Amino acid sequence: MKKIIIGNWKMNPETAKEAQGVFSDVALGVKGFRKTSVVICAPSVFLEAMNALKIKGVSLGAENCFFGDVGPYTGEISAVQLKNIGVKYVILGHSERRALGEDNELISKKIKSAISAGLKVVLCVGETSRDEAGEYLSFLHDELVESLSKIKKVDLKNLIIAYEPIWAVGKNAPRSATPEDVHQATLLLRKILVEMFGRESGLGVPVIYGGSVNTKNALEMITLGGVDGLLAGRESLDSDKFVEIARIANTV
Ligand code: PEP
């Protein structure tokens, strides 16, 4: 399986010109990386301009979508609309959206809609904090099971799970995750996927890690953390750093 390196630009940058610039620089930098798939997820408002560059070798992703194809949902953007402007991936269930009120029920509808539209879904799951009694393990279990409640085995080829512990995401994160933290959680996520969909299908779903990924921890997160790739937030806005993360993944 190729390693998957995804950038989440969040609500950055300010202009389409800057977005095009970083996107082109990343594409240039990752040229020839054969063991890695690279995806940039950008604000919807820039996706058309980025797609117009006709860049090969880096896929375009959105950071969110709504469910349904068309309808009375003011301000929302559907998966079909994204697909029609060249988008291939969409992040769903990111903790920054869950913090705005998205729950597993809504996320499950979005996932179903996005996969039906032909997008690949990057589903983010992760606990707010860890506790001695291991309650966070049941939280992770329920979050994954409920978010995937509308998904069938055949849909799994279009699914990536991103383990993003909220306590390790963003510049105000209380602490960094260790590869051991990541390994433990991803083992659990894989076990749940196997319970839900059977061994072969469950183990075929890539599980990646996100949370303050940088050029220093990328290698150990992949090798010791045992993940199939990485999701970088802040570091993905700097094309040199993001390309370096992809280069590291390409050597594993
Ligand atoms: C993210 O936005 O999904 C993320 C992991 O952010 P950061 O890398 O900045 O912690």
Tens of pLDDT along the chain (252 residues)? 899 999 999 999 999 999 999 999 999 999 999 999 999 999 999 999 999 999 999 999 999 999 998 999 999 999 999 999 999 999 999 999 999 999 999 999 999 999 999 999 999 999 999 998 889 999 999 999 999 999 999 999 999 999 999 999 998 888 889 999 999 999 999 999 999 999 999 999 999 999 999 999 999 999 999 999 999 999 999 999 999 999 999 999
The answer to whether 164 is a known catalytic residue is yes
Classified as helix, coil or strand, 41 is strand
What pLDDT sits at residue 125?
98
| Token pair 């809504």 in the structure block, residue | 106
2 Cβ inside 6 Å of ligand 1: no
Write out pLDDT tens, residues 88-99. 999 999 999 999
C-beta of residue 90 within 8 angstroms of C-beta of residue 60: no
- Calculate the alpha carbon distances from 94 to 91, 133, 166, 167, 251 in Å: 7, 25, 9, 13, 28
97 Cβ inside 6 Å of ligand 1: no
Please state the atom number of ligand 1 nearest to the C-alpha of residue 94: 3
Counting ligand 1 atoms within 8 A of each CB, the residue from 163, 208, 212 with the most, and so the one to mutate, is 212
Helix H or strand E encompassing 8: strand 3-8
What pLDDT sits at residue 62?
98
Counting ligand 1 atoms within 8 A of each CB, the residue from 164, 176, 238, 241 with the most, and so the one to mutate, is 164
What pLDDT sits at residue 134?
86
169 Cβ inside 6 Å of ligand 1: yes
What pLDDT sits at residue 173?
87
The answer to whether 105 is a known catalytic residue is no
Q: Please list, in sequence order, all residues whose beta carbon lies within 8 angstroms of the beta carbon of residue 10, skipping any fewer than 6 positions away.
A: 63, 96, 233
- Calculate the alpha carbon distances from 171 to 43, 166, 250 in Å: 19, 11, 26
Residue 52 Cα, ligand 1 centroid: separation in angstroms? 26
Q: Where are the alpha helices (DSSP H) in the chain?
A: 16-29, 44-51, 79-83, 95-98, 104-116, 135-147, 179-197, 199-203, 218-223, 239-251
Write out pLDDT tens, residues 148-175. 999 999 999 999 999 999 999 998 888 8
Nearest residue (CA) to ligand 1, atom 3: 233
What pLDDT sits at residue 1?
87
Q: What is the pTM of this model?
A: 0.96
164 Cβ inside 6 Å of ligand 1: yes
C-beta of residue 58 within 8 angstroms of C-beta of residue 23: yes
Please state the atom number of ligand 1 nearest to the C-alpha of residue 162: 3
